[in-house]
């Protein structure tokens, strides 16, 4: 089997590219089913968060899907040209792909190192793949390995201590930009997981004048009651921004909630004072041109990187220990993958050796030899020789597996199988020609084979 991941994230692509490739839940399911219908033998998991879009694939070792196929699929699904995002992509294969997933799931690759939300997002992506029936034995094992690695890193290090989430960093940025956040009127747009985290962090830093606005008013009302804040109606969004000092948005929508023109109209009704907007949604809730308006300061999720970098620096020791655990688990998974592949490959190698011996015997026993009395004895002898040679080959394969790992051993067996298949095919063609040209006439001196 081969494993490949094609993706982009906050480090390789700006938000205007990431939002073009983002998937909501319905789109994820549709994409996974389309992929499985097109490539029935392969396995797929699709991860889409505010900071990354990644497509994982496991397929048979020879032939099958290449990274280019996955790139073409992403472009076609979103109706954009590959050239629009190809320079922002990374492609990882085999052990590198396994390592990448483990670092992502453990939050080591996150904008905010130590965040626990990414584990839930990866688990949800895997659940959707199971629902779409697009995953299988290899990716099942790989993703459970990633979940176990994340748990071990978070329980044996201090990587997740402190304010470690995008929501936490957003609130920290607001504190740096707003003199007295405790007295600010804050509008939180969206009551999903990120919106709930925003409420927790805002309350933690002493902010009490908070209004939660959600598309579903009943859900927003319940969440607001849970945290002791006000709930606002979706249709009153404009009015909420008229009185807000800070707006933090994380609503799941495909189009902008507010354009530059809409915010300009709201400002006409506002009293004096700046409006700080932190938009951590992907796709974005606010048109970027909003930042051109006087007294409006718009920050996207990509603008949180400076604060997030400070967070990374204080966790360097935890990151190093986490990477040690990642590499240990990558090695274990690759051993399993190699062992999984090597058994069937050895079976194929034995079958090819058997076919070669049979075709050589067939090549020998033609013409006046085809009725030779020693035919069965020679077959038995050749089979014994082939089995002894196979024993030597398998012994050497086991030696390679012990010294260099089962992945390298599987590559060796795969190479032998390929060569044996070529020999077998060539013998088959030669035997056909020989059969056509041979005349079964016996000569006087042929009695030695009786």
Active site residues: 50
The enclosing H or E element of 383 equals helix 375-404
Rounded to the nearest angstrom, the gap between the alpha carbon of residue 441 and the centroid of all alpha carbons in its chain is 66
Rounded CA-CA distance 54/102 in Å is 13
**List of residues 6+ apart from 264 with CB closer than 8 A:** 293
Neighbours of 6 (CB within 10 A): 23
Rounded CA-CA distance 45/23 in Å is 12
**List of residues 6+ apart from 67 with CB closer than 8 A:** 4, 6, 91, 93
How far from 401 is each of 114, 335, 395, 404, CA to CA, in Å? 36, 9, 10, 5
**Any idea which residue has 């006409």 for tokens?**
268
How far from 281 is each of 7, 15, 194, 256, CA to CA, in Å? 19, 10, 9, 10
**List of residues 6+ apart from 403 with CB closer than 8 A:** none
**List of residues 6+ apart from 177 with CB closer than 8 A:** 276, 297
């Amino acid at each position: 089997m081969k494993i490949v991941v094609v993706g982009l994230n906050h480090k390789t692509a700006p938000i205007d590219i990431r939002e073009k490739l983002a998937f909501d839940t319905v789109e994820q399911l549709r994409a996974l089913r389309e992929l499985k219908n097109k490539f029935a033998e392969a396995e797929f998991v699709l991860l889409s968060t505010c900071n990354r879009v990644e497509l994982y694939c496991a397929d048979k070792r020879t032939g099958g899907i290449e990274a280019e196929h996955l790139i073409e699929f992403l472009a076609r699904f979103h109706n954009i040209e590959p050239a629009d995002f190809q320079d922002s992509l990374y492609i990882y294969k085999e052990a590198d792909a396994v390592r990448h997933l483990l670092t992502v799931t453990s939050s080591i690759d996150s904008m905010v190192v130590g965040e626990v939300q990414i584990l839930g997002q990866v688990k949800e992506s895997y659940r959707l793949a199971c629902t779409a029936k697009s995953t299988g034995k290899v990716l099942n094992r790989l993703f459970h390995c990633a979940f176990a690695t994340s748990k071990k890193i978070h329980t044996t290090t201090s990587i997740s201590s402190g304010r470690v989430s995008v929501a936490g960093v957003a609130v920290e940025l607001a504190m740096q930009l707003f003199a007295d956040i405790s007295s600010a009127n804050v509008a939180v747009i969206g009551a999903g997981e990120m919106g709930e985290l925003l409420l927790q962090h805002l309350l933690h830093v002493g902010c009490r004048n908070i209004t939660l606005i959600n598309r579903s008013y009943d859900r927003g009302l319940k969440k607001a009651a849970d945290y002791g804040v006000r709930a606002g109606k979706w249709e009153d969004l404009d009015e909420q921004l008229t009185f807000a000092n800070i707006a933090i948005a994380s609503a799941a929508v495909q189009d902008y909630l507010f354009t530059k023109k809409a915010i300009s109209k709201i400002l006409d009704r506002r009293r004096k004072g700046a409006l700080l907007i932190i938009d951590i949604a992907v796709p974005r809730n606010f048109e970027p041109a909003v930042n051109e308006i006087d007294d409006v300061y718009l920050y996207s999720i990509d603008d949180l990187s400076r604060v997030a970098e400070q967070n990374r620096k204080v966790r360097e020791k935890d990151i190093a220990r986490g990477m040690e655990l990642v590499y240990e688990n990558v090695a274990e998974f690759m051993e399993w993958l190699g062992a999984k592949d090597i058994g069937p490959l050895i079976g194929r190698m034995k079958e090819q050796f058997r076919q070669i011996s049979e075709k050589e015997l067939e090549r020998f026993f033609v013409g006046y030899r085809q009725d030779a009395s020693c035919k069965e004895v020679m077959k038995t002898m050749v089979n014994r020789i082939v089995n002894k040679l196979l024993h030597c080959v398998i012994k050497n394969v086991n030696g390679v597996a012990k010294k260099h790992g089962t992945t390298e051993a599987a590559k060796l067996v795969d190479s032998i199988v390929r060569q044996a298949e070529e020999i077998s095919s060539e013998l088959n063609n030669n035997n056909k020609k020989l059969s056509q040209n041979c005349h079964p006439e016996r000569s006087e001196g042929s009695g030695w084979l009786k």
